[in-house]
Structure 1
Amino acid sequence: MQLRRRTKLLFDGRLVGSRFYCCVYCRNIVALHDDIVVKNFTSGTGRAFLFSHAMNILEGPKQVRWLITDIHMVADIYCSNCREVLGWKYEQAYRQENKFKDGKFVLDKFKITKAVESPLHL
């Protein structure tokens, strides 16, 4: 499997704000709280968050998948540190009412955790 690296760099490497989410397995920072688009999202495995951005992740190959709302082109996303699957990225929605999801990230709630405190640097 070939993975594409996706890292969000913020200014000089400092995190903006102090609220962020980490991989539950290795505590690698993967998303900022301010990037949550939908909090009551549902994935195939339970509750999830829809984020506008994610960081320190790897993207798997694109694939067509039937999801709850319809068929979508998606790519699984993995923690760049421990390689655990954390969710997926919406690459393309085929129905107009789902287009707002394009380019956004679904992170399963049970695979991420709120960080206790903000580090000074990534």
Structure 2
Amino acid sequence: MDSKPPQLSANIFHDRPTFSCIHCCVPIALQDELISKSFTGREGRGFLMNSAVNVKMGKKEDRPLMTGVHTVADVFCLGCTNRVGWYYHKAADSSQKYKEGKYLLERERLVKENAWKLDESEEY
């Protein structure tokens, strides 16, 4: 078994809009991976995402959520270890299977980075 700690992914989001951890600014997900903004996390609105990086998964547990019982694992930022949401392992109800393998990232725990570029030829 590999005992090395998880490594932060570096520069994979260079110049691309991302969602980053609000506490330490580590990139967590590309904005292109956003599926839906109509989800609810523990502390308010949440985003359903296809993927996330720079996160560590907690222990799997069955959790009663608004749409029924799901097997989920909390996900934590690798940069600062704050919880940023959860990962859907399994949904009991067949109508909720589309969530399996996806992440719920809590809006209040993220900052949107738009990767703005300034025109270097402009004078200020």
The reply to whether TM is greater than 0.5 is yes
Q: Percent identity?
A: 31
- The alpha-carbon deviation at position 116 of structure 1 amounts to 4.8
Deviating runs (4+, > 4 A) in structure 1? 4-9
The 1-side partners of 2:88 and 2:9 are apart by 17
- Residue deviations 1:56-93, cap 9 Å, x none? 00000100100011000000000011000001000000
Matched-pair contact (CA < 8 Å) for 1:19–1:33: yes
Unaligned stretches of 5+ in structure 1? none
1:97 corresponds to which residue? 95
Aligned to 1:28: 26
User: Equivalent residue for 2:50?
Assistant: 52
Unaligned runs of 5+ in 2: 117-124
AA in 2 matched with 1:55: V
Q: When the two structures are aligned, how many residues end up with a matched partner? A: 112
SS of 1:81's equivalent in the other structure is coil
Letter in 2 for 1:53: S
Alignment of structure 1 residues 47-86 onto 2, 5 Å: 47-86=45-84
TM-score normalised by the chain length of structure 2: 0.82
**C-alpha contact 2:13 2:27 (8 A) present in aligned 1:** no
Q: Please say which structure displays the higher CA radius of gyration.
A: 2
C-alpha RMSD over aligned residues? 2.1
